[in-house]
Chain A
């Protein structure tokens, strides 16, 4: 049963990532695109954790933690660039 549920949740996350890509391409303004990237890295963490459960290994946990940290830093850096026009003054 768990294998079937994992496949179904993989399909759900794939559809969610495709919707994010749609917003990333179509998004009328730059903050919309940053928000789509922010949502994409969060969904990628979910995919990686689910892949670890699927393969019965906790090896991918560190990768998920790294993606969480770098995604947050990149979102803040992009917003700061939009606000100030410069990152390091």
Chain B
């Protein structure tokens, strides 16, 4: 079945991206680098898993299932806002950044 292959590949790509985002959250040295890991999980990983779910429900339930796009669009809208708020609170708390980061004077108050 061709749709099983499509769903399996999309699910594997999405699961791998979410796992990579969490590994980045653990392995990165300071907060400003740690923020970059989970953004890939939010956009690419969730988009892959939701498209896989959409294809599955479209094939098995007969009619076109459109509503999984809602979660993806909502995450795409809200991810930059929460990232901005997290960076604002990190700068407010004077978190230490790695010394070789470019543009350190933009981070420190």
Across the interface, name the chain A residue whose C-beta is closest to B41: A42
A13-B18, A39-B38 given as contacts; is B26 within 8 A of A23 (CB)?
A: yes
Does A31 contact B82, Cβ atoms closer than 8 Å?
no
Please, which residues of chain B bring their CB within 8 A of the CB of A19? 22-23, 25-26
Contact with A along B1-32 (1 / 0, CB 8 A): 00010011001101110110111011000010
Query: How many Å from the CB of A62 to the closest CB on chain B?
Result: 9
Q: For chain A residues 1-34, which have a beta carbon within 8 Å of chain B?
A: 1-2, 5-6, 8-9, 12-13, 15-17, 19-20, 22-23, 29-32, 34
Does B86 contact A31, Cβ atoms closer than 8 Å?
yes
A35-B38, A42-B75, A65-B70 given as contacts; is B93 within 8 A of A16 (CB)?
A: no
- Count of A-B contacts judged by CB separation below 8 Å: 147
**How many B residues touch A, CB cutoff 8 Å?**
50
Across the interface, name the chain A residue whose C-beta is closest to B32: A31
Does B82 contact A83, Cβ atoms closer than 8 Å?
no
Q: For chain A residues 50-89, which have a beta carbon within 8 Å of chain B?
A: 50, 52-53, 56, 58, 61, 64-65, 68-69, 72, 75-76, 79-80, 82-83
Please, which residues of chain B bring their CB within 8 A of the CB of A68? 71, 74-75, 78
Please, which residues of chain B bring their CB within 8 A of the CB of A83? 85, 88-89, 92
The interface of chain B, by Cβ under 8 A from chain A, is 4, 7-8, 11-12, 14-16, 18-19, 21-23, 25-26, 31, 34-35, 37-38, 41-42, 45-46, 49-50, 52-53, 56-57, 60-61, 65, 67-68, 70-71, 74-75, 78, 81-82, 85-86, 88-90, 92-93, 95
Please give 11 more A-B residue pairs, beta carbons under 8 A apart, in addition to A16-B18, A46-B46, A68-B75.
A5-B7, A5-B8, A9-B12, A15-B19, A29-B93, A38-B82, A42-B41, A50-B53, A52-B53, A75-B82, A79-B86
